[in-house]
A = this chain, B = another copy of it.
Amino acid sequence: MKKITMQDVAEQAGVSPKTVSRVINNEPRVSESTRKKIQQIIDELDFQPNKSAQSLAADRSLLIGLLYDNPSSAYITNLQAGVLDTCYQFGYGLVIHPCQNDTPDLLPKLRNLLASSRMDGLVLTPPMTENQELLDFLESTDTPYVLISPLDDARTCPIVSLDDVSATKQSIQHLIDFGHRRIGFILGTRQRSGSEMRFLGYKQALEENNVSFDESLVVQGDFTFDSGVVAAQQLLRHETPPSAIFASNDYMAAGVMKAAAQLRIPIPYELSLCGFDDTPLAMYMTPTLTTVRHPVEQLAREAGELLIRQLKKYLQPFKPEELQSKLIIRDSTGPVNK
């Protein structure tokens, strides 16, 4: 099975290779009739342009990179699925790069990766989105990038993010509707847009419902299970303990469950609990966890699209999707126990 080249297509179509190239790259200035004819032959022959040759000639790798440093593998696989989807669509390849944001060799390693893979652009996820040194480096090398859920938008680069504020407000409203007035809040790692937005949503929901904000019901966590346990212990030993707890992610919510079990506080009867992220965990815990599901895959798809649009020349117009987080009500929340 001999490989089919652009040359073959050109010969069959009776045109020059350059014209075939124009069709493949969706360039303008080709007559509709020749475009059709060439496209038909491409389809017939099932011709696939050789990526290596394209890359070499055009000095573009046709590769984009995805950087992440995240303990949640469910989040990562969703992210990958979304970006991959866009990559397939536009004929790009994906280079995944798990890394650790806080190690000194992040930059050298990335420099290396960039030098060898020559990625045309990068998708960055928190906390790399806040790594100024990294961003400066990318800008110094003219590597386009897009940020997913960055803390602020000081950089003039494309950004995609989710509205955690209103998603959290929905959760808190759900609790308030059940009669809860003392609602504990476990913060995630500060300086992460998710943490800040979730906290804001909490405060706004309280305010809109004329529930007074009590600072002693807010405890710092760091998105880990263990921090959830500790935070919950603190909240549940409060002299006037909350009747409900909102944990800023599912792992911390799982920690709350553990702490509640240790203190023999049954969920949801004596304590309602909300998580965030809808990790697989949420379904598998007993009781199942009320949480918020994020459209991570679509978010990643959009991030990929935003990036690739910067890289390609001739493209169709863009149709952004509606990204909506969703409150998933399960067994861990219920009416307040007066």
Contacts and interface: CB of A to CB of B under 8 A. Distances in A.
A258 B286 contact: yes
A222 B74 CA distance: 20
A116 B284 contact: no
Interface in A63-108: 63, 73-74, 76-77, 80-81, 84, 91, 93-96, 98
Interface residues of A, number: 43
A40 interface: no
Secondary structure dominating the interface of A: helix
A115 B1 CA distance: 12
A281 interface: yes
A40 to B, nearest CB: 18
A246 B257 CA distance: 24
A225 interface: yes
Nearest 4 pairs of A and B residues by beta carbon? A52-B55, A73-B77, A52-B56, A254-B284
Given A255-B284, A281-B284, 15 more contacts: A46-B115, A48-B112, A48-B115, A48-B116, A52-B53, A63-B93, A74-B74, A77-B77, A77-B98, A80-B98, A93-B95, A251-B284, A254-B284, A257-B286, A281-B281
Interface of A: 1, 46, 48, 50-53, 55-56, 61, 63, 73-74, 76-77, 80-81, 84, 91, 93-96, 98, 112, 115-118, 141, 225, 251, 254-255, 257-258, 261, 280-281, 283-286
